Amino acid sequence: MSEPTPTDEPTRPQLQSAAATFALLSAPTRLHVVWLLARHEYDVGTLAERIGTTVAAVSQHLAKLRLAGLVAARREGRRQIYAVEDPHVLTLVEQIFEHIAPDGSLAPDPPMPRHPTRPTP
């Protein structure tokens, strides 16, 4: 594999947007909300109950996630129903939890080379 050229590298706006997304997901409660919404649609009250926090706290987290475009909402009667619909966000959340074991340690790596330019042992 050849060395990346400057045109292959991420642009400054891409780097800033990616960093902002990771910063947004760095709050455990927001990450929990996204994880739940990646699997099922929920209203704010159900999310608060599942996470074990207040409706007000979850509402604030949802507002930030919606503003960033990570979570979508639709009205169902008097309730707002939230979901993650972006396949990139779904993949990101799925992959991070495949990488982290239930005890918080790093999960074992799958059997593949660690880096594309390093030879396989």
Residue ranges of domains in the chain: 23-99
The model's pLDDT over 21-30, given as tens digits with 9 standing for 90+, comes to: 999 999 999 9
CATH of domain 23-99: 1.10.10.10
pLDDT in tens, 48-92: 999 999 999 999 999 999 999 999 999 999 999 999 989 999 999
pTM above 0.85, yes or no: no
Using one digit for the tens of pLDDT, what is the confidence trace for 10-46?
A: 999 999 999 999 999 999 999 999 999 999 999 999 9
Rg, Å, the chain Cα set: 18
Residue 81, both tokens = 């129903």
- Tell me which amino acid residue 35 is: W
Please, which residues bridge with residue 100 across strands?
106
> Please, is 55 exposed, middle or buried when counting C-beta atoms within 10 Å of its C-beta (0-12, 13-18, 19+)?
middle
Mean pLDDT score across all residues of the chain: 90
